Structure 1
Amino acid sequence: MSRRTAVIALTALAPVSWGSTYAVTTEFLPPDRPLFTGLMRALPAGLALLAITRTLPRGAWWWKSAALGALNIGAFFPLLFLAAYRLPGGVAAVVGSVGPLFVVALAALLLRERPTARALLAAIAAAFGVSLVVLKAGAALDLVGVLAGLASAVSMSAGTVLTKRWGRPEGVGPLVLTGWQLSAGGLLIAPVALLVEGAPPALDGRAIAGYAYLALANTAVAYWLWFRGIERLTATSVTLLGPLSPISAAVIGWAALGQALGPVQLAGMAIAFGATLAGQLPSRGTFSPAERNGQELSVDPRIPAVRR
């Protein structure tokens, strides 16, 4: 297995993990507490990583971490949950699946990643495949829900591109950056969850186990792998791994929850997975020659290369 393939495979574990969120939420957690669930995913994981790494931001990284935490976590989670509440689940997933198109546009603007026909076609095919997997006949639309879904996709897309553009401070690893963002995002969600949903609910052992899984595997580890992948791959390549999340959710729903998968859903999964693979085909600029020799360089091409 090549180094690039290994990076892609590890990064792909993040959206595959996120696909388990629905099953864990419905089977283990208290109902109707999406913001509290977002808070419990982000803040404990972020604080745990801060305790492990014992590194706080310095200088400009205080506001950069806050901005990235807001885009990737603090704004993304509430907007995503608002869309999920206002729209049928399949419609919300389809609206969110346009994220790769936003990343292609933002990467061209901020990272000088030239959009290719293959990337655009892969993003469109992925959204179409996801729609076949999750969209049900007669699904209703709600303007507020659609706008919230689009805003959540824009938020995560901007966070992905800015994470790539800003990189990380010298001597600071991806685990530290993950802790900064999760802590900042969780602190932003906390007052919103308190105002909208009130005091935290009583938790039994099943709920505690569910929240522990979401905070550790589904968030701390998954976001570390995601941010690590953003650093090593192009922003477009990483975001085109996103369709693995609804594919994973559909497979888990079939295997663990007894949900049916018909020919249309299977065809959609094949299209989305094919688009994901197409998005990972190497293109010029994906790795520099020095990176292929095992050195990690600064992620912004306009910054002189510095070995970390």
Structure 2
Amino acid sequence: GEHDVTEEQTAVKHAVASCLAAQLDYYKTTLQSKFTVQMGLSSLVDSSDMITSTAYTSTHPPPLVNEIASQLLLQTGSTAVTRHACMVTSGLAPRPSRPDRTVQFRPFSSRDAHIMLQMKRTVEVCDGNRLKLLLDASLQTGKAVRDVKKTPAIRELKQYAGEGRYATQPPAGVEMRVTEAVMKDCIEPGVQRCVEKLRGMECGDRISGLRKRAESYVAQLLRHGDHQMITGGQQQRQRALLQKLLHQPTCDIRAGKSVDETELLKSIRLAFDQQGLLETANEASNYVMSGITK
């Protein structure tokens, strides 16, 4: 329900805030003084050896955790999360802390492009497959929106590429036109490619899990507890039949449909029985499928 979702979101925010708070404290103890930062060494915080693997897990975390959690913006769903990450690296993400500030797209700004270095170093130390895929997609999108060859529309903003107080701002109509083109031709395609890959990874995990459970079930039917298909003359027939029976469920998973595993296992038992591939049909019929489908 809605209450559960709110509790889950709060838990996620505090988990992330705990990691960020621990990281900030780690910076303070590692960078001994503000003088180090003032000397232009602030980029050290992006180095892999500056990343701590610990987080605050106490039931009474420091006040900084709650303070950070209150400022976090939570996105849900692979499309929304991917789009937000791509918008950040592209310099087009709004800032919730400053809702009155208009987002300006500046593809030729070296200051705005600094996020690319931060993202690159984040990708380098990331060890989660899905997270790495997401961050890498946002990194590639951030590069593409700043590349005239890949995104020709940004040429219109080239003459407004100055930095600082003397920089001239492009007319609102020009900036809006370029931003819309960038969103349509670069960011959204990048988002969709990433989402498709994420869904492919999810489908792969579901298919692999289904196949393992089906093979385990067949092994139990054949009275072999090591989850391996038996050897001998029937092995090839057994594998071929199981492959055939798993074909449609596999297609259903790839199409985003649900699969009733209990019914599938029943159909597998029936098919193996009809093909005479079970050692003792009576014992097989007494097999408790709930132990496999859990």
TM-score range, shorter chain: under 0.3
Which of 1 and 2 has greater Rg? 2
TM-score (norm 1): 0.24
TM-score by length of structure 2 reads: 0.24
